[in-house]
Amino acid sequence: MTTYDKKTLENLWEGNLSSGELRPIQSQFKDQDRFWKFLEYCQERVGWSDRILLPLQPHLFVVQKPDGRRVNKCDCGFEFGDYRQNWKLEAQVFVRDTDETLQEIYPPMMHCDPEWMVLREFYCPGCYSLLEVETVPPCYPIIHDFKPDLETFYREWLGKEFK
């Protein structure tokens, strides 16, 4: 059974492994305890005590509040509400829909035509980390990237109680 020590995994998650060290991890069969170790790693690094149920991306987690509510939460502490709702609805947004704002990121000619497509940047209202960038035409609905089925995951896939 493949398994890795804490240090190796920390180096992996922090991007500190060389290609030579990374390659065997990509090629090996996966370590079955990875998820639990990752939860522990994440929990140790946030400045709050709500239990992390699922890491969603580098800054966002689904957490369980002491009163039983499950919410999306940023590592800075900002809460976005019920985890089944799209967290973006509670975020701040800046839309790059002009040549001028697109050229803050891309050289002229190397960006989209803002009449055809815009960049929607979603920031955490607590720390203003850039959480997601949508590439969509004007007036496209906000994308709900991922709605996890936590009950199935915990109960059926991990065989754990989920209360």
Interface region with other proteins, contact rule CB under 8 A, candidates 43-51, 63-71, 138-146? 138-146
Can you tell me the distance from the alpha carbon of 37 to that of 11, in angstroms, rounded to the nearest whole number? Answer: 13
Report DSSP letters for 31-89, one per residue: PTTHHHHHHHHHHHHSSS-SEEEEE-SSSEEEEE-TTS-EEEEETTS-EEEETTS-GGG
Q: Does 46 bind other proteins (CB under 8 A)?
A: no
Nearer to other proteins, 32 or 69 (CB): 32
User: Binding to other proteins by residue 49, rule CB under 8 A?
Assistant: no
Check residue 98 and report its DSSP letter. S
Q: Side chain identity at 4, as an amino acid letter? A: Y
Exactly one of 13, 48, 76, 79 binds other proteins (CB under 8 A); that residue is 13
For other proteins, which residue of 19, 44, 47, 67 counts as binding (CB under 8 A)? 19
Q: Which of 34, 70, 74, 160 binds other proteins (CB under 8 A)?
A: 34
x/- mask, other proteins, residues 89-128, rule CB under 8 A, reads xxxxxxx--------xxxxxxxxxx-xxx-x-xxx-x-xx
The answer to whether residues 134 and 143 touch, using CB atoms and an 8 Å cutoff, is yes
User: Is the CB of 39 or the CB of 46 nearer to other proteins?
Assistant: 39
Answer yes or no whether residue 32 interacts with other proteins by CB under 8 A: yes
> Rounded distance, CA 71 to CA 86, Å?
11
DSSP state of 155: I
